[in-house]
Amino acid sequence: MAPSVSYPDARPWLTAPVEVLVVAVKATELLAAVQRVPAAVLGSATVVPLLNGVDHLPVLRALYPRASVVAASIAVEAARHRPGVVEQLSRIADLVVADGTPEGSSAVELFRAAGLTVTTDSDEQNVLWRKLSFLDPFALLTTGADAAIGEALRLKESWVRPLVDEAAAAAATWNVRIDADAVEARIRSLPATMQSSMLRDRRGGRALELDAIAGPVIRALGSTKATTTVEVVRTILAAG
């Protein structure tokens, strides 16, 4: 099948009201991005952030007090080659949306109408932590080893289960139950050449989402319990 190419309209600033705002920047770019979306213009729109981590929800709700911020997560393999050029690297584009509010349910209908695969959960912490509990060990393992997942599993075997267990324990502090065995099995089943976005960012010399991805685990457990997470973060930072 030939690749699909689209050329959406681009605007440097939001200057007119919209019904739905999708926030799809890196966590490291969030505060800069919201400067382009004035709260007075956004008004009572629905905001759907597709960011890694869990800390962006209260930030967006503080910045946009009239808006309805709906928790969501996405599994997608994509790369921004340069400003304005984004390539989806695989056909995966699966959304999970918290539908516990009318605004959340409307967002689900919108995404499904666009042809996306959408699952729902009424609990927004489930939506966020179930992604993070997989992404955190996957991103830290590959970036800490500076290798795709197959080689990272071989080089840093001792990190795998502790990273998964610490992410699951952090989720439990938010009353989110994570099956650590299933997460580990999923990581081990990934194609050997798969890289995390954090690894690609490191190799491209870009800012890393360490605080957004590893930060919630460390803050939930404390550094004395998130020992392997802290060790891997220090390894990544030491590598520059």
Neighbours of 110 (CB within 10 A): 17
Tens of pLDDT along 82-140? 777 777 666 667 899 999 999 999 999 999 998 888 999 999 999 999 999 999 999 99
Tens of pLDDT along 197-209? 999 999 999 999 9
Q: Which CATH architecture has domain 20-122?
A: 3-Layer(aba) Sandwich (3.40)
- What average pLDDT does the chain have? 93
3-state secondary structure of 36: coil
Q: Distance between CA atoms of 158 and 20, rounded to whole angstroms?
A: 44
**Is the C-alpha dihedral spanning 121, 117, 74, 172 positive or negative?**
positive
Q: What pLDDT is attached to residue 89?
A: 65
The tokens for 64 are: 């946009």
Q: Cα 82–143–92 angle (5° rounding)?
A: 60
Which residues of the chain does CATH 3.40.50.720 include?
20-122
What is the pLDDT averaged over residues 142-153?
Answer: 98
Which residues of the chain does CATH 1.10.1040.10 include?
126-239
Domain at 126-239: CATH code: 1.10.1040.10
Tens of pLDDT along 38-72? 999 999 999 999 999 999 999 999 999 999 999 99
